[in-house]
Amino acid sequence: MKFILAFFASLSSTLALDVRLDIANTFLSPDGFNRSVIVANGTYPGPPILAMKGDVLNVFVNNSLTDGTMRRSTAMDFDGIFFNTSNWWNEGSDFVTSCPLGPNMSFTYNVPLGEQTGTYWYHSQLSAQYVDGLRGPLIIYDPEDPFLDLYDVDDVSTIIEVGDWWQIATPVLLAGYENTGVVPVSDSGTVNGVGRFQGGPEVPFPVFNVTQGKRYRFRIINESARNVFTVSFDQHNITVIETDGVPTQPFVTDSIQMFAGQRYSVVLEANQTVGNYWFNAPFVGGSPANNKAGHQNASLTRAVLRYDGAPAEEPVGPFGLGPENGTGGSIEPFLVPLNPTAPPDPDVMLTFNLSVVAGRALWQINGVSYLPPLTPTLVKVLGGGDTQAAYNETENTFILPANATIEVNFPPSQDDEAHPFHLHGNNFWVIKSNFSEEVNTVNPIVRDTVAVGSAGTTVRFRTDQPGPMFFHCHIFWHKQAGLASVLLSGPDQVRAEENPSPEWLNLCSAYRDLPEDAQ
């Protein structure tokens, strides 16, 4: 891997990488239960998109969905990628920056990676469609990675994707949620697309192969739609070196709690006796009382760390849940960016009070439940939408000045679970973590997805790249129930620089012409 990075470092020109994602229905059984799914290129998770710093991705998405029991349109989001003022129309957030892509249609997303490096992922943004399987990793390698001396291996074999899995199609689950207000409980958890459910077949666990004495950069992505995973390797500490694409001062821990949408890179040194060890990924997400099928067993989400020379068998011993001491996985307050910056004082301060209507699938920010508009935010901006009057109240759109520092404060919530709020097209400083009482304005961690919950959370970000930024809970059941907003900065600057393609301009009219069962 280091030879490959050195080779790329010798290249001075930006590479344009063509990627093809064929979105189609097929039957898969990630946890041993066979069902119709929505996937890219026939696999769950989808194929890894691997790029280098500075590359431009041309992602050709072809929609061949036919199964009418699920959504047949789609919208591709590249989680954590910034885009910029002249490229927002490629960002892929349905009804924020574009309209969905209907069946038997194709669209090429132009994705400039700029100076970003690290661990990202792609998924359907439409409704809760990625629950049905449309999700996969996006890795941006850095030829000049400041941590190159800390690891020996960093390739496709060291990508770890944890996710939640349901055996029933999303529209049925959403209907049940809307009728009861109870978020569906997953049947299982998966590691790199493989899992088990209680009482189901003993699907072979994934295997991560290592050689004693070598050091591995594992890129761990929580691609779930709800579940919080706490990951660890038996008898091995790990060193965190990246948080949501941001290089992090090395921090040694025994476990990491990961919310939906969050990513970490960790270095594991294969310094134990040759053998087999568990990778643990137990999760929480929903009350056991709602586990009506009796399928959910968090201890079944795991893989095997296998040393060269060890027998091809599972580790001896029970399915544990990982370390019981240390941080308990709540490491966010201890993390510091590799190159920390003190966030500027805020120019604009917002308060987001989260609430849910009892007994209903209706979440609100400041008393407003987000509903996606028929005309996307970006289309309205290009048409002159500079004032609040251009946006319906239910669009929950906040118009912000360009080149300003914005602070968003989430007061302590009465809700008993932490909501992973994700900001599209930007990072933020975590001034106050939900897992600490400290207010850090000196060297706070920088990321794009943060837990918001009972202890309160505060973030700050800059609007140096104006545009419509979707800001939502990454529990997609909650997002679908209204827990979302749009932070629109510098609409006049967006309009001055945006130059969307004719293909993008045609997406909305094509989508509106679709029959309801094809949307």
- SS3 labels along 146-162: CCHHHCCECCHHHEEEE
Q: Tell me: do 294 and 380 sit in the same domain.
A: no
Question: What percentage of the chain exceeds 90 in pLDDT?
Answer: 88
Q: Tell me: do 373 and 314 sit in the same domain.
A: no
pTM of structure: 0.96
The pLDDT tens digits of the residues spanning 477-514 come to 999 999 999 999 999 999 988 889 999 999 999 999 99
Q: Tell me: do 513 and 381 sit in the same domain.
A: yes
**CA 110, CA 88: separation in Å to the nearest integer?**
10
Q: Tell me: do 357 and 296 sit in the same domain.
A: no
Q: Tell me: do 419 and 449 sit in the same domain.
A: yes
Q: Tell me: do 228 and 362 sit in the same domain.
A: no
Per-position DSSP letters for 426-450, written without gaps between them: --EEEEE-TT-S---SSS--EESEE
Q: Give pLDDT, residue 6.
A: 40
- The residue segments making up the domain with residue 204 are 146-339
User: What residues contact residue 386 under an 8 Å CB cut-off, 6+ apart?
Assistant: 399, 491, 492
Q: Tell me: do 196 and 263 sit in the same domain.
A: yes
- Tally the residues of the chain: 519
Q: Give pLDDT, residue 416.
A: 67
* Mean pLDDT across 294-309: 96
Look up residue 454 and give its amino acid.
S
Q: Tell me: do 180 and 307 sit in the same domain.
A: yes
Q: Tell me: do 135 and 153 sit in the same domain.
A: no
**CA 371, CA 81: separation in Å to the nearest integer?**
24
77 half-sphere exposure, CB direction, 13 A CA radius = 26
Q: Please, which pLDDT band fits residue 379 given cuts at 50, 70 and 90?
A: very high
Last residue of a domain, one of 306, 339, 372: 339
Mean residue pLDDT of the chain comes to: 94
Phi/psi for 47 (5° steps) reads: -65, 145
Characterize the bridge pairing of strands 467-473 and 419-423: antiparallel
Max CA pair span of the chain:
67
Q: Tell me: do 379 and 494 sit in the same domain.
A: yes
The tally of domains found in the chain comes to 3
Does residue 147 have a pLDDT over 70?
Answer: yes
Q: Which run of H or of E encompasses 468?
A: strand 467-473
Does residue 12 have a pLDDT over 70?
Answer: no
- Domain with residue 171: its CATH number is 2.60.40.420
Instruction: Specify the 3-state DSSP secondary structure of 27.
Output: strand
Q: Give pLDDT, residue 273.
A: 98
The pLDDT tens digits of the residues spanning 258-272 come to 999 999 999 999 999
Last residue of a domain, one of 310, 339, 368: 339
Q: Tell me: do 80 and 202 sit in the same domain.
A: no
Does residue 320 have a pLDDT over 60?
Answer: yes
* Mean pLDDT across 233-244: 98
Last residue of a domain, one of 144, 161, 185: 144
User: What residues contact residue 297 under an 8 Å CB cut-off, 6+ apart?
Assistant: 188, 196, 197, 198
Q: Tell me: do 268 and 405 sit in the same domain.
A: no
Does residue 5 have a pLDDT over 50?
Answer: no
The pLDDT tens digits of the residues spanning 85-137 come to 789 999 999 999 999 999 999 999 999 999 999 999 999 999 999 999 999 99
